[in-house]
Structure 1
Amino acid sequence: MSLTANDVERFEACRPRLAAIAYRLLGSAMEAEDAVQETFLRWQAADVDRVEVPEAWLTKVLTNLCLNQLASARARRETYVGQWLPEPLLAGDPMLGPADTAEQRESVSYAVLTLLERLSPNERAVYVLREAFDYPHREIAEILDITEAACQQIFHRAKKHVADGKARTEVDAAAARRIVEEFLAAAASGRTEPLVRLLTGDAVAVGDGGGKVPARAKAFEGAVAVAKFLRGLFKPGEAKRALLGGVPEVYAGTANGDPAVVAVVGGRVVGVMCLAVTAEGIAAVRSQVNPDKLDRATARWAVTDHGEPVFNSM
């Protein structure tokens, strides 16, 4: 069925929200875009004149597409090389979605996206729709074809699972830059002690290379182990430069609302290191270096003012 210009306009008005929902559900910007496009094809094939509330109809279609995708994604991730981490989104990316409340900002943090991987598809959908987009339980229940009581139970269970992770401390852009600069100064010092002071005692470090860039399959655990790993990571070396395709420029930025180290070679983002900051210190260092998950970050980088690099001596 062909769509009128008004039908297309109605879909496009919902596209940013659909993309933001899909990203939170899937942890992948590329897969989120595919889900939104498939939703458009479903819209194109539907008798849209009979759709009373386009946003509700489109959200239901998109959510169920994402739930199907999550089921297959779990099987794929069992054979994924090394650790799987979400695709990072740099500051200002529209796919980050609404950020008016602490709950909305928290829901797209790198730490929470990682924690959401532990939830069942239904738990993840209920948590995202309720916590990040403030959908009433009644509407979520209709989207998922469950009872409202079941929806509430699923939400409380999902929220508890997420809350069991370390509490994140919100920081503004200026504070994020100071945190990253202090972190980089400690990492580049060649000593472990300055890093240990910045980390929590049970800090962890994990990286996702996707089998294309070397990354340890098992996380580093404990402040000393993480500090030693970071000291070596930031130590200059010809082999490292050859692997990255040149000398990386290292910037202080934000990704998914978290302080982040952004490594760039020739305008291409080659790594995004997200720092999970708590009141006690940096609790986790999560590095995305899989080139397949950095294309959107590179595109965003090209159109933003990112200031001067903190250093370029890796």
Structure 2
Amino acid sequence: MTVWMEDVYRQYKPLLFTLAYRMLGSVAEAEDIVQETFLALTQSGVEDIHHLKSYLCKAVTNRCLDTWKSARWKREQYVGEWLPEPLADGSLENDPLQSVLMEESISYGLLVLLENLSPDERAVYVLRTALGYDYRAIAEMLDKSEAGCRKLFSRAQQKLDGAGEGLQVAVQPERSKRLVEQLIAAMSRADAGALVQLLSQDAVLITDGGGKTRAAIHPIRSDQRVVAFLTGVWRKWEKNVQIQVVSINGQPGIVVTAEGQPTRVINVVLNPDEDRIERLYMMINPEKLKHFSL
């Protein structure tokens, strides 16, 4: 790789990774697509590329759309609930655009909601909200009309509003940290009463084991059932594990490690109208935790 290409790689890799990750919800696939894009760049006539950033974003977006099509059957065959791979913020700390990416952090709750969008809707939404492209630029990237992209964005926003049902999916580090710390304390005491006070009455817990480890196949609904689940798993965790609060996708979450390896990652979504937790997402699929580093 030439010195020029190394500079380009360092400059654009974080941006392209965050684009691919938000498009696919997979760290591994995002990394592969970024590497493939730069490999193709080294084999092309880069001197003819006038707008390198847009060129690279278009290449990554198209690869993500192709990945969506080829992986559709995997989603249909997936065992239990499918959740995006969580991303520890510290894993980006050596990238030059870290501060920019942190300012644009996408909450895990919103990443989950993006799964309700079609590939084209997701592409337009991410390019518009995460990277700030105008509709004309997005239309050129996706080979669509500007009006069509506006319609896709409007449709995406309507789906997200409907799927979110008023959930507070914005990044709220301070509020989340306080509730997460209280959640850990209540679990450590097996204090069902305290746990109920931390959860909304219609709280939902979703686990993703992917058929690789034992997990709830269906969402666990209501505060009482979620509390029963949490107090039950705590008895299994309390020995030979470490539990800590870690910044995940821009806000505090829970990481359970055994012998230095993450075995559970829990993200929370807050209720906008009360100081309680509305959703808990628990990743326990070992395949999706391979790239999770503290």
- TM-score normalized by structure 1? 0.85
- CA RMSD, 1 decimal: 1.9
Aligned amino acid, residue 161 of structure 1: K
Aligned sequence identity (%): 38
Instruction: Tell me if structure 2 keeps the 8 A contact 1:7–1:48.
Output: no
Aligned length: 284
Indicate the SS of the match to 2:86.
coil
Give the aligned residue type for 2:133: Y
Q: What do residues 11-32 of structure 1 show as CA deviations (whole Å, max 9, x unaligned)?
A: 4321110011000001011100
Is the counterpart of residue 289 in structure 1 residue 284 in structure 2?
yes
SS in 2 for 1:193: helix
User: Does 2:264 correspond to 1:266?
Assistant: no
- How many Å apart are 1:191 and its aligned residue? 3.8
Aligned partner of 2:48 in structure 1 is 50
Asked if 2 retains the 8 angstrom alpha-carbon contact of 1:98 and 1:132, the reply is: no
Deviation at 1:160, TM superposition (A): 2.0
Residue by residue over 1:94-142, the C-alpha shift from the partner in whole angstroms, topping out at 9 and shown as x without a partner, is 2886233xxx33xx21111111111100000011111111111111111
Post-superposition offset of 1:224: 1.4
For residue 296 of structure 1, give the secondary structure of its aligned residue in structure 2. coil
Rounded to whole Å, the distance in 2 between the matches of 1:152 and 1:158 is 10
SS at match of 1:253: strand
Distance 2:51 2:277 in 1: 44
> Map of 1:159-198 to 2, 5 A cutoff?
159-164=157-162, 165=164, 166-168=167-169, 170-172=171-173, 174-198=174-198
CA positional deviation for 1:169: 5.3
**1:171, distance to aligned residue in structure 2 (A):** 2.5
Q: Name which structure has the greater RCO, CA cutoff 8 Å, separation 6+.
A: 2
How far apart, CA to CA, are the structure 2 residues paired with 1:261 and 1:11? Answer: 32
TM-score, normalisation: structure 2: 0.90
Q: Distance in 2 between matches of 1:264 and 1:43?
A: 39
Unaligned 5+ segments in structure 2 are: none
The range that moved more, 208-217 or 28-37, is 208-217
Q: Which residue of 2 aligns with 1:200?
A: 200
Equivalent residue number for residue 249 of structure 1: 242
Equivalent AA in structure 1 for residue 253 of structure 2: A
Q: Return 5+ residue gaps in structure 1 as ranges.
A: 302-314
Q: Paired residue for 2:119, among 114, 118, 121? A: 121
* Alignment counterpart, residue 87 of structure 2, candidates 86, 89, 104: 89
Preserved CA contact (<8 Å) 1:205 1:221? yes
CA drift at 1:161: 1.5
